[in-house]
Amino acid sequence: MTSSPLSPSPEPGRHSDTTPAPEVPVNQEPDQPMDENPTRPVRPTHPVHLLHTAAALRELPRGTGARVVVMTMGALHEGHATLIRAARRRVGPQGQVVVTVFVNPLQFGAGEDLDRYPRTLDADTELAAAAGADVVFAPSADEVYPGGEPQIRVAAGPMGTLLEGASRPGHFDGVLTVVAKLLHLTAPDIAFYGQKDAQQLAVITRMAADLNFPVEIVGVPTVREEDGLALSSRNRYLSHPERRTALALSAALFAARDRLAAEEALRARAASTGHAAQDRAAALAALGEDRAAADAHAVAYAAAGPPHGPSVARAAAQAVLDDAARLEPPLALDYLALVDPSDFTEIPDNYEGEAILAVAAKVGTTRLIDNIRLVFRAGRSGPTTATHQGGTLTGAATSETASSDAAPSATTSSDAPASGSPTTPTTPPPTPQGPLGATR
């Protein structure tokens, strides 16, 4: 797993379970309304409790509101702070926000970066407090696994063998085992996780539903740096040249989103134009109006054939990643997958509804993942919001969706209907390409 849920052993010399960490304030005053700005720090009024044992956490009064847990592996950054602030807004000043910090050895495979994973508990406690946490629960490995590695674990099932599970065998079994244990130890009403680890969020949601955990699972949208790179504790490992290459992950996702939006805009225009666009394209070409003719041809192509949304999105993303493989240092692609959020299997080209475009790659020695949520409407016009139905997953904010008004400039000319019999075009219009293959 990346830096999104699960936690490290306490640092030597930290505060005891019965003494709050000094001068690390947290929470809003009870008479203050909750701040609706997710980027603004929560107004602090009392110290955060740093606890290392489940017994100490059980002894701590829960308050009168709901308890929400945010599970992390430490090395907290703005992405984690966003989760904590969302949790604080959800439960209000009467609720309790618990942040777990535990680097889970079960989810690291052979050769992965368990020993290298950063442990920064002092800084983590300060960030958690500033974002609105009441408790930082940082148990040792002996506290979480008192008998050593557990003989009985939670199995992730078929979903856990795909994508991340295929690249990291046994990873999701380790994730679910520690999540189940931490849910028991913290006993929350609600648990918040980041959508950046989309497959992890999906298997946790399924576990909670299938095993009847009395907890609501909430997904919070990915937080990105200004250049588009998804926030991750592993970003700190990237050199400047590696970071430039790593930007291809988000660029590929955005290229897919924009190309899908362009196709949907074309299909919306085609629906209102009918079959007249091809005759108009021929007439414009005869007049030497090449740009307008290409635009009319693109609309005619969209009108004549079935939706190509999934294949178009995959191709746009793959073009960016292919370009990045030729950079220095190169991007080494692990997978690019367009999947059904319910089971993480690849979707067909006639798919309708929400999907996740996920990518994983290595730049140097650093492995990064990212994803974006897309909605395929099979030619129907009108805005669509990506939401999860059923189970226990609730979106904490609107998901990323393809917008029908994001067509490239080659499709912005008006289309007046022309008379004549329809002709089916045989080739798709060219796709303008920008840096790293991203659609302009």
Q: Is 46 annotated as a binding residue?
A: no
Residue 79 φ then ψ, to 5°: -60, -45
pLDDT at 59: 96
Determine the topology of domain 25-237 in CATH. Rossmann fold (3.40.50)
Q: Is 71 annotated as a binding residue?
A: no
Sorted by where each begins, the domain ranges of the chain are 25-237, 240-382+400-437
pLDDT at residue 144 above 90? yes
What does the mean pLDDT of the chain come to?
76
Residue pair 157/345 in contact by the 8 Å Cβ criterion: no
* Chain-centroid distance, C-alpha 43: 28
Residue with more model confidence, 42 or 62? 62
In this structure, the strands spanning 96-101 and 190-194 are unpaired
Contacts of 31 (CB under 8 A, 6+ apart): none
pLDDT at 114: 72
Q: What is the pLDDT of residues 355-371, one digit of tens each?
A: 999 999 999 999 999 99
- Mean pLDDT, residues 92-102 taken together: 96
167-171, 182-186, 215-219: range with lowest mean pLDDT: 167-171
pLDDT at residue 101 above 60? yes
Distance CA 380, CA 414 (A): 20
Q: Which of 15, 52, 80, 171 is catalytic?
A: 80
- Mean pLDDT, residues 234-250 taken together: 96
Query: Which segment, 103-107, 240-244, 303-307, 418-422, is predicted with the most confidence on average?
Result: 240-244
pLDDT at 265: 76
pLDDT at residue 34 above 60? no
pLDDT at 63: 83
Q: How many residues does the chain have?
A: 440
* Other C-beta atoms lying within 10 Å of the C-beta of residue 143: 18
Q: What is the pLDDT of residues 385-401, one digit of tens each?
A: 343 333 344 444 333 43
Residue pair 135/48 in contact by the 8 Å Cβ criterion: yes
Active site residue 240: no
Sign of CA dihedral 35, 41, 47, 53: positive
pLDDT at 264: 77
CA distance readout (Å), 179 to 69, 145, 159, 183? 11, 12, 16, 6
Q: Is 52 annotated as a binding residue?
A: no
pLDDT at residue 430 above 60? no
Contacts of 274 (CB under 8 A, 6+ apart): 303, 417, 422
3-state percent breakdown (helix, strand, coil) of the chain, nearest 5: 35, 15, 45
Q: Is 318 annotated as a binding residue?
A: no
In the beta sheet, which residues pair with residue 267?
Answer: none
pLDDT at 291: 56
Helices (H), 94-233: 121-131, 141-144, 164-167, 171-186, 198-210
